[in-house]
Amino acid sequence: SVEKISNILIDPENYIGKVGTVAGWARTTRAAGKDLFFIELNDGTCQKGIQIVVSSGTIENYDTVVKINTATSVKVTGLFVKPEGGSEKVEVKIGSAEHKVEILGAIDPALSKTYPMAKKFHTVEKLREIAHLRPRSNLIGCVARIRNNLAYATHIYFQSNGFQYIHTPLITASDCEGAGEMFQVTTTLPKPEESLLKVKDKVLDKEGRIDYSKDFFKKPAFLTVSGQLSVENYCCALSNVYTFGPTFRAEVSHTTRHLAEFWMIEPELAFADVHDVMDCAEGYVKFCLEYVLTNNKSDLEFLQNALKKPELVEYLKGLISGPFARLSYTDAITLLQKAVANGKVFENKVEWGEELATEHERFLAEVVFKKPVAVYNYPKGFKAFYMRLNEDGKTVAAFDMLAPQVGELIGGSQREERLDVLEKRMIESGLNPADYWWYLDLRRYGTVPHGGFGLGFERLCMLCSGVDNVRDVIPFPRTHGNAEF
């Protein structure tokens, strides 16, 4: 009765007394005398590996097995037993002729000395240089499993709350945020003389290539910075919707929070105001926290030790036990000004009408509230054209959710549903309303109050894992100056 146990995560204790098969990579190996050989095997399905104990004289290839070194991939069939001593709950014993240790991928002994992922402490900086191998580290393995569950939790949350998943385009002609940080799309199509394409009437660039950046799409095209404008179109037809995909920003900033390619979750709610949108954002983030606390227990335990954050799990539990904080921008300014009056020193001035600097946001989330805080009703001056103008004519119904250690986790707003006000705001923001005729049509044909938000998925991963650098929560980070791997 040989059972293939492909997923060590599914409590291996359940297999005690049975013969089963596991396959994975040797993390470490060691011999104890001439007759015993130990392999610490891990298959990446969970943080923990399993110990394989091989006795000499029981299998034919014992002499080869004792040469197994770190990173060798092996498939083992043996008896699951409760170890006599030690802290482990289960190990696999190779002690009879029906048992097997099969070497699937051996390593040249010379190479094994320089194997970059040898079991030892690796700094996160070093791991980034070997991003192709770093998923074999405990840290990145834990983060990858948490990231997977956060993606899954995202779909569970929105699907079970009646939102439809919409796939919005990655190539677009519009700059949703108006920040001028877009990557332009061009092609690698051959030069006209080498191609069979008819080039008559085509626009050529200086080198005589077809300028496909304009010609392919008939207008300049870019990688999207946000799926919002597209998802709004579906919201104004299907009611509550969301999109979840990669977004791109030519961010030249070298911070621990900015990527050039990141994933964003963007729900859009129909017949909703900014408070409904903030409720949705809070409910979603809490659901994600709870999901990870329930389904990534051993990953979180590992991370709280590895990151030297002994309070991590308790802190995350605390976040879901009560409401997040919420206050208006105007109240936030008053609060910050009071702090200044009491001796708090900021580098950036605190003044109504000015943007909140990172240090102000951190002060609110980390010092004042010590939990995520949504700041709403910002002055319109530094906010995007699509945000709904409030009755005061000075502020817009926009909010940012700021989280300790993470900074801005979410940006969202109620959208301007009044055609005339929207057109005016576009012109004020330097946009040509004619370019957005399709967006404005939503306001012409049965406009409704609606709104949504964008949550930076990597920042959510940071919040839920305790990891402090955005480069370590995405498999292959793309940042200014780095698109390796």
Please report, as ranges, the residues that interact with ligand 4AD according to CB under 6 A: 176-177, 226, 228, 249, 251, 258-259, 262, 264, 266, 408-412, 452-456, 458-459, 470
Q: Are 373 and 325 in contact (CB under 8 A)?
A: yes
* From the list ligand 4AD, Mg ion, none, partner contacted by residue 259 (C-beta under 5 to 8 A by kind): ligand 4AD
Query: Is residue 407 close enough to count as binding Mg ion by CB under 5 A?
Result: no
- Write down the least CB distance from residue 384 to Mg ion, Å: 9
By beta-carbon proximity to Mg ion, the closer residue of 74 and 364 is: 364
Q: Strands 100-105 and 91-94: what pairing?
A: unpaired
Beta strands at 50-55 and 73-81: parallel, antiparallel or unpaired: unpaired
CA atoms within 13 A on the CB side of 454: 19
Contact set for Mg ion, span 204-233 (CB under 5 A): none
Q: What gap in Å lies between CA 274 and CA 93, rounded to an integer?
A: 60
Give the contacts of 315 (CB within 8 A, at least 6 positions apart).
Answer: 309
**Nearest CB to Mg ion, comparing residues 134 and 360:** 360
Q: Tell me the β-bridge partners of 103.
A: 74
Cβ closer to Mg ion: 77 or 228? Answer: 228
Could you tell which of ligand 4AD, Mg ion, none binds residue 466, using a CB distance below 5 to 8 A set by kind?
A: none
Q: Which residue, 24 or 412, has its beta carbon nearer to ligand 4AD? A: 412
Minimal distance, residue 410 CB to ligand 4AD, in Å: 5
Using CB under 5 A as the binding criterion, the count of chain residues that bind Mg ion stands at: 1
Contact 412, 441 (CB under 8 A): no
CB of 249 to ligand 4AD, least distance (A): 5
Shortest CB 408 distance to ligand 4AD, Å: 4
Quick one: which segment of 32-40, 92-100, 410-418, 425-433 binds Mg ion (CB under 5 A)?
Answer: 410-418
3-class secondary structure, 465 = helix
Residue whose entry in the numeric block shows the structure tokens 């406009």 = 447
Q: Of the listed pieces 163-171, 324-332, 372-380, 406-414, which binds Mg ion according to CB under 5 A? A: 406-414
Among ligand 4AD, Mg ion, none, residue 372 binds (CB under 5-8 Å by kind): none
- Between CA 459 and CA 258 the distance in angstroms is 9
What is the nearest approach in angstroms of ligand 4AD to the Cβ of residue 414?
Answer: 10
Q: How far is the CB of 10 from ligand 4AD (least distance, A)?
A: 34
Q: Is 454 in the site for Mg ion (CB under 5 A)?
A: no
| Residue 91 contact, options ligand 4AD, Mg ion, none, Cβ 5-8 Å cut-off depending on partner type | none
Residues numbered 255-314 forming contacts with Mg ion, rule: CB under 5 A:
none
Q: How far is the CB of 452 from ligand 4AD (least distance, A)?
A: 5
Pairing of strands 261-270, 50-55: unpaired
Q: Which DSSP helix (H) or strand (E) runs through 131?
A: none
Q: What angle do CA 185, 188, 189 make, to 5 degrees?
A: 115
Q: Tokens 């009703």 — which residue? A: 377
Q: CB of 47: closest distance to ligand 4AD in angstroms?
A: 26
Q: Which does 228 bind (CB under 5 to 8 A by kind): ligand 4AD, Mg ion, none?
A: ligand 4AD
CB nearer to ligand 4AD: pick between 177 and 215: 177
Q: Which is nearer to Mg ion, 91 or 177 (CB)?
A: 177
What ranges make up the beta strands (E) of 282-394? 325-328, 373-379
Closest distance to Mg ion from the beta carbon of 228 (Å): 11
Cβ proximity of 288 and 154 under 8 Å = yes
From the list ligand 4AD, Mg ion, none, partner contacted by residue 177 (C-beta under 5 to 8 A by kind)? ligand 4AD
Nearer to ligand 4AD, 40 or 177 (CB): 177
| Interacting span for Mg ion (CB under 5 A) from 94-102, 150-158, 405-413, 462-470 | 405-413
**Distance from the Cα of residue 201 to its chain's centroid:** 44
The residues facing 242 across adjacent strands are 165, 267
CB of 255 to ligand 4AD, least distance (A): 9
Residue placing its CB nearer to Mg ion in the complex, 24 or 412:
412
Residue 411 binds Mg ion, judged by CB under 5 A: yes
Q: How far is the CB of 120 from Mg ion (least distance, A)?
A: 40
DSSP-derived letter for residue 369 is I
For residue 439, the surrounding DSSP H or E stretch is helix 437-444
Alpha carbons 170 and 176: distance in angstroms, whole number: 12
DSSP for residue 207: T
Residue 103's alpha-carbon distances to 23, 61, 107, 178, in angstroms, are 10, 10, 10, 56
**Which segment (232-240, 365-373, 376-384, 407-415) binds Mg ion by CB under 5 A?**
407-415
**Closest to 270 in 3D by CA, of 454, 158, 390, 414:** 414
Nearer to Mg ion, 226 or 240 (CB): 226
* 131 CA to centre of own chain: 16
Which one, 78 or 411, has the nearer CB to Mg ion?
411
Instruction: Judge whether 292 and 149 are in contact, CB under 8 Å.
Output: yes
Q: What is the CB neighbour count within 10 angstroms for residue 182?
A: 21
Name which of 146 and 384 has its Cβ closer to Mg ion: 384
Alpha helices (H) along 296-356: 297-306, 312-321, 329-341
Residues that bind Mg ion (CB under 5 A): 411
